[in-house]
Structure 1
């Protein structure tokens, strides 16, 4: 859900996708604009996701922040991960993966060795384009 393809707003997408110019201030700028539009009930008009908008934006911000942290701390392996749609109480057990299956991708990244990919977004156990 935190992929940029889920954010129709071209301005936000450009800011968050520019890995070379990405900063915490730019992430804050996108989130501030989103919150302003949210308060004014202008999400769809301004090109934000129509549903689950806050969730999608928060996940995209985490993915962007992951890139910043990985660049700032190159000796630490820092990634973000979506374990998939896991059956939990939160989704009334409607997920397709068991908790153990969902945990596999998270544990795999937690156990990553030196030199492993850093600054990436993983969907389950695969690197995914942000």
Structure 2
């Protein structure tokens, strides 16, 4: 029988590193730590090795399609499948960033939404029965949803929105920021927030698509790790990376046949509202 395997994207530091640490302690199988920079990834593996934990490293840059394909081929050849996938890789501009808003929108959505979706589309065919997928979103997705026009809110919370429609809306937001019309068009003034609306809604759609295909107990959820003390929050967060890892790992370890959370948005290990 093939060894079980858990994969965590963007995991050489921050919440991703905490997720790998927790999975090494709780998941019965191999844990793959990934990073864009192999040196940083190997250093993270060595750091966990000092704690008696033994993740394996594989290079992954989710914005590079060839890099995702290389990871897929490695997983297929080595494990013949995936049991846990935690999509944690993402970026956030600092509040003090002087980059134009249109640039922040394009880069944030390219990484946080489109690259995460690409990783899912490449890796999902490897998901085994009873696989668990934890897409790391943010409570900022809820805040951003609240600031959308009623028309956009209605689409983002609808149960019939498709992935193509969602991607089209994400592209409309990018274009609107370039035109300087995003506010008039009903979008909020937060590139990160819209990118994480994308991740949350993507996760809900993915569960519906899996169920429609008759997948065997594959469970996908979006989650907020909380406000964590990391580079991404300029170390203003109150939670440790291990505390931030709790909800993503809770979802990664959901038992067979679980009815809830399933295709939902989760905060502090509990289902959170995703509604107008």
TM-score by length of 2: 0.44
Higher relative contact order by CA 8 Å / sep ≥ 6: 1 or 2? 1
What is the CA distance between 1:113 and its match in structure 2?
1.0
Matches within 5 A, 1:106-117: 106-116=248-258, 117=260
State the superposition RMSD in angstroms.
Answer: 1.5
Q: What is the CA-CA distance between 1:91 and the residue it aligns to?
A: 1.7
Count residues with an aligned counterpart. Answer: 127
Cα offsets for 1:15-54 (capped at 9, x unmatched)? 11111x110122022112211211101122222112xx22
1:100 aligns with 2:232: no
Indicate the residue corresponding to 1:70 in structure 2. 207
Q: 1:1-130 to 2 correspondence within 5 Å?
A: 1-3=140-142, 5-19=145-159, 21-50=160-189, 53-74=190-211, 75-116=217-258, 117=260, 118-130=262-274
CA drift at 1:105: 1.1
Task: Please list every run of at least 4 consecutive aligned residues from structure 1 whose deviation after the TM superposition is greater than 6 angstroms.
Answer: none
**Structure with the higher fraction of residues in strand conformation:** 2
For the pair shown, the structure with the greater C-alpha radius of gyration is 2
1:59 is displaced (CA, Å) by 0.8
Instruction: Encode CA deviations 1:48-74: one digit per residue, 9 max, x unaligned.
Output: 112xx2211111111111111111223
Deviation at 1:11, TM superposition (A): 2.1
Query: Structure 1 residue 5: deviation in Å?
Result: 3.5
**What do the CA deviations read for 1:69-97 (whole angstroms, capped 9, x no partner)?**
11122320100111100001222211011
Relative to structure 1, the CA distance from residue 11 to residue 29 in structure 2 (aligned partners, 3 Å threshold; closer, same or farther) is farther
Instruction: State TM-score, norm by structure 1.
Output: 0.88
Instruction: Answer yes or no: is the 8 Å Cα contact 2:200–2:222 preserved in 1.
Output: yes
Tell me, which stretches of 5 or more residues in structure 1 are unaligned?
A: none
